Structure 1
Amino acid sequence: MTGDPNRPTTEAGNSDLPAAEARNSDMPPTDAGDSDMGLLMRGDPIQFERLFQQAPSFMALHNGPDHVFIMANPAYLQLVGQRPLLGRPLDQALPEAREQGYLDLLNQVYREGRPHAGTEVSYRIEAPGEAPRWVTVDFVCQPLLDESGHVTGVFVLGSDVTARASAQEKLAAKEEQLRQATEGGGVGVWDVDLASGMIYWTTRTREMFGIYSDRPVSLRDFYEGLHPADFEMVSQAFAAVTVPHGAKLYNVEYRTVGKEDGEVRWVAARGVPVMDAHGRVKRVVGSVIDITQRKHDEQRIRNLNDALEQKLSLYLSERKLFGDLVEGTDAMVQVSDHHFNWMAINHAAAVEFERIFGVHPKVGDNMLEALKDFPEQQRGMQAVWTRALTGEEFTDIREFGREGRSRHYEMHFRSLHRDGRRIGAYQFVYDVTERIEKEERLARTEAALAQAQKMEAIGQLVGGIAHDFNNLLQAIRGNFDIIARRVSDPALVARCAEKGQSISARATKLTSQLLAFSREHSFDLKPVSLQRLLQDLEPLFRTTLGARMGYRRVAPLLAAGDLCVMADAVQLEMALLNLVINARDAMMDGGQLVLTVEEDGNTVLIRVTDDGAGMTPEVLARCFDPFFTTKSVGKGSGLGLSQVYGMCKRVDGSVDVQSTPGVGTTVTLRLRRAQPDLQACHPQQAHPHQDARRHHVLVVDDDADVREFLIDAVSSLGHDVVAAADGREALRVLGTERVDLLLADFSMPHMDGAELARHALALRPDLKVVFASGHPDADAFHAATGREAVVLRKPFDIETLRRTLNTQLGMTSGTATDASAVAASASTSAVPPPVTS
């Protein structure tokens, strides 16, 4: 016999089939003479011979250490094959016995004198003339002893259990297949022993109840794993299959709550009862599968079905509602395809179309055909619908209809799509004739109201400035009276003339302030050096505040170097002076004013803080209103903070006021920072010498008094002067006489300064042009002569006139000059107190 290396083995044999695992047992040595076999052999040899030959078990008797066969019954020969055995040692008679360990097993029994048993041991039989085959046997090897107790041989007795082992192997294979099938298919198996209350659960079944350990499980684990909502139903179903004559099938779906993980799962369990001989249920066996995903899918499907039903119901309701709305609405609804055929039209649209054009349209009709008798209306309709049919979505208001029946319509056009493809366009139309008429009436009313408000504002403006101008005119007239009466006193005349100039400068400042308030003053925007500006203004600040009030400037400005802001220097000066004067008036009993300059990125903050009376919330809310003032009559016009606000807005800045009654007020100007411009921040001083060469200047002004002044002033500066009263006379002069520079008023009748300058430059391209005007719009000057326009802003003094003329007549290139900047710089050191709030 040859052993199979893949089968399990005994101590002396081998075999690795799981179902045929050898179980060896040692038995105590017996005396063959005292054994039943020995008694039988000694008592009745014939009877023993008959038993030996007819026994279904195989038997063999070996003698001596070489295990010589002295007996072998037919069952043994059938097992090992028909071959000569008697008288031959084992290793000769059965050569395969050595390889499979059978010889070693007999040697061990012979040597130790102890019996050896084997169960389901497999051997390979290689009988001559037969194909090799495997057999599985149960056997016992019994040592034979003589009278002295020595082992003389070995008796072998056994049974061929090949068929049984094969059946067990097949059963094991089927069980393994079933296990793999159930595990692979996610099926768990269970078996309940009702007598003990214990349950057999496969690994998959345990997982469905959230148990991952190998501990024994019982019915208690089963019941504790049921979801409370399903406990009663499952318990009743299981109990129904455990009673006699009960249910034949246990089939339920329920939820489990994992004992170790707490997870809720859905399972489907099926089982049948197993009866004993008396019809009592001993066990219940069955299978279980996890249907959690299926339940979730079913719930999602139900949710989707519910949602679909709701959407369908909503859609049908909306469709009906939409139909009701379309037919019941005042809006006229039309739908057209790409060929201008009506795809839909509601009742309101059809009725209106018929009212206007006398044609009642219906679905399928063509719009162009319906309007064939109205070519102008047809073209208009085709134009707007073409835009919509090409995909444009828009709203248009047009007038349609025949004379006497036309109406204004607001038309909303949208594209119509189906399955992602544009199939046409639709239109919602509203009759807005009444709305248009109301809007026109409202516009007329608003225009009238604006005009009334404008007149009221002008009245307030006139009233507000009347007092200040009366004071200024009184001072100017008084000084002229003194000059007229005391012409022989040169010192007095000079002093009165100087006062008159100073008062005129105050009037100039007031005019500039009013123009800034009107937002029509032409700002001269350029980088303004705060260091230079404050150094020039601080003496005036201290004079304005007086001895009872202190002034302090916070140092960070010095650390910032030449810090510039984009502003109009004159307007910024006035704004700061207004704030200082307001602070002075708020600190009647004395106090401290602090001016702080800070950098905040690209912004410069100028704060003016006082510890005066402060403002109530009601006053603070109106502090920027023009002509609003809390001061007594004659103490202020209410334009101060309005000018500050207007200045900041004109330079894209802002102003903020924080005030607390009894504590004080802080006004913060937020202005754009500018890069220093050496010429702007530090203007060059004009050269004092006058051009030695005489020039020819043409003076043009329609006001005789102003014209006479200009003639005398230009003549006093050493130039030859020719004058004209209007533009037409000036052009005649230009055509006949030499003129180097044209000094013209801007606002004149018949031909203004802009038109005169254009004609003059066409005649004399090299002519220098200077405008002398109080006109506020700088764009008008530039439109006349380009960006090289030079402006002397009225009123101006003779020194400003001299500088301007010398600059222009001495030019060798087209560098632009704004004489107002010269005027501003000339008067900076003697700025008069501005109008305050």
Structure 2
Amino acid sequence: MSLREREEQLRLAIDAAEVGLWDVDVATNTLYWPARVKAMFGISPEADATLDDFVACLHPVDAPEVLRAFAAAQDPAIRTVYDVEYRTIGKEDGIVRWVAAKGRGIFDDAGQCIRAIGTAIDITLRKQAEAVQNATQRRLDLLNRIEHATRPLVDALDVMQTTAQLLGEHLGATRCAYADVEPDNDRFTIRSDWARPGVPSSAGVYSLDLFGSQARVNLRNGRHLVVHDVDRELGDDDGGSMFNAIGIKAIVCAGLVKGGRLVAMMAIHQSVPRQWSEEDLRVITEVVERCWTHIERVRDAAMLREQDRRKDEFLVTLAHELRNPIAPMLYAIALMKREQDPSRLARRIDVIERQAAHMVRLVDDLLDVSRINRGLVELKRELIDIAPLLVQAVEAATPALEGSRHRLTLQLPGMTAPVNADPARLVQVVTNLLNNAAKYTPDEGDIRLSSWVEGSLVVIELEDNGLGIPPEDQVRLFDLFTQLPHTGQKAHGGLGIGLSLVKSLVEMHDGRVTVRSGGLNQGSTFRIELPLAVSLAARQTVTQAAAAGNCGRVLIVEDNLDGLRTLMELLQSNGHTVLGVPDGPAALRVAGEWQPDLALLDLGLPLMDGYEVAARLRSDLGLKDTRIVALTGWGTEQDRAKTTAAGFHAHLTKPVAPERLLQLIDDLLRPRDADPHSRTSPTVVGLDAGRA
């Protein structure tokens, strides 16, 4: 075979292997690169290539080692083989490629390097495959470490902490945090986090809304929040300031959405901007999904253990509570058999009746719990003011309060506070709380029961200066069969089901109950929130009122309670829906939502006179169509001129004949269209306005 044929055969072999040849004339620093090698450096085939291009296109991370190896191959004292793998950044296209280069120096008789020759191969695809394989192996190794580290853990917080640490270390993150989200879908709590040494913890309570629209929308819809550069991607008003406040410049936050609600989040923080890779996101997603599953298993197991423990405690307590009344009953029966003295017989019967009544209460509470848990309790709702229910509860709890010589302060709403509720069940709820306060407050303690309207809610608060509740026990206070250790000497018996009943019944009324306490011996405050039923009351009477004639919603503002009550009854008897309040601030609180058709205002009101009430009904609430009538003891011509100038539609001087009042209201409402809502019967919405 001729030399030419051998050279052609070698060329074909090199082409088949996709190998590029390179040659450097050291004396002249002239570089020879064929098109294939130029392509590895992002240089077009027709463009010239120089050693400067070679150096400039080396990846900054790899350049020092490549140039050291290239120089060593040309050093007469070393003469190593040039064998390197490195990245290039394309001169014309900016693409990163991997190159495997081999070569050697050629030396003359004097030992000087005159040429450097070798080969170069594009190994980008191989490196990408290796990167995927390595990343997969690293991910599997991480998942395996997390599995082994968390498998023996029985506390959900420990699972979160361990997972956060291993994930944060794997990613080289600044901080990694787990958070539980409150039912309001906004407030979340970072109970603990992992962070690099010297980095402050982010533990605390936050509002999701503070972190901007991207965080809010993505997380609530089950999508990751991915921010590579907080300052560049988020403005201060859209979460940037909040992220910066806790030292975050880049973040990935993965949320868990269940039943359409965000329930938990895992966040990876970086204190400098970071371009999160697809592999980073893949690792975070898989770790977080496994973490959710494991945490739920741990919590379920902990719940079962807790239920078993509480069941055992309950059975012991139940046995104790049943034995306690049975013992005096047996003693009383034995004494009745021995004694024939009629004067002592009555005392024995009283003992048996008291202890039997105590047992009946225990059984009734147990049956209530069972029925509620099985969904068998049906509320018998009606529209009723909260005030008389609180009075009934106080009456029911009076024996317990008087037995311990407690001082009770009762403050009822300064306005009508209607609720759509089962009266008996709400009385049961408040009575239970009052009895608890009496039980866990030292003798001669102070107890305050108060109620008021707050926006669209009726609030009931019961405050005492009793034993208080440690912070760590407040979260489980409403759990079934819970009895706190520090209350043992004051408990006087009980199964630990009363507050669970309170919580269940309040929630059945679409409300909520909470507790707060400064700690042991610092008293407790229980707060119940129930929906105000003003709007419901208004809707209930439209149909019949429309049929009766020119009937509508009438707001009465009158500080004389007897006058208020009788006037409300008079208007109700004529088919109107009536809401009565004792002062201007109360009128403004309800008028915006209730939208009265007509307002009867006393002028000499406390806090805010009738003129100011009328002006604010117009300006603050925009009730431009509401007819306003002065009903006052002031009746001079000057008074009438003043109400006319203030925009009142009529001026009535007390006492006014009922027929005249009803006729005036009928005339004022006549031009107005019938309310389009459905009403079934005329209803008085206001009752007692203020009691203490």
Asked if these proteins are the same fold (TM beyond 0.5), I'd say no
Normalised by the length of structure 2, the TM-score is: 0.31
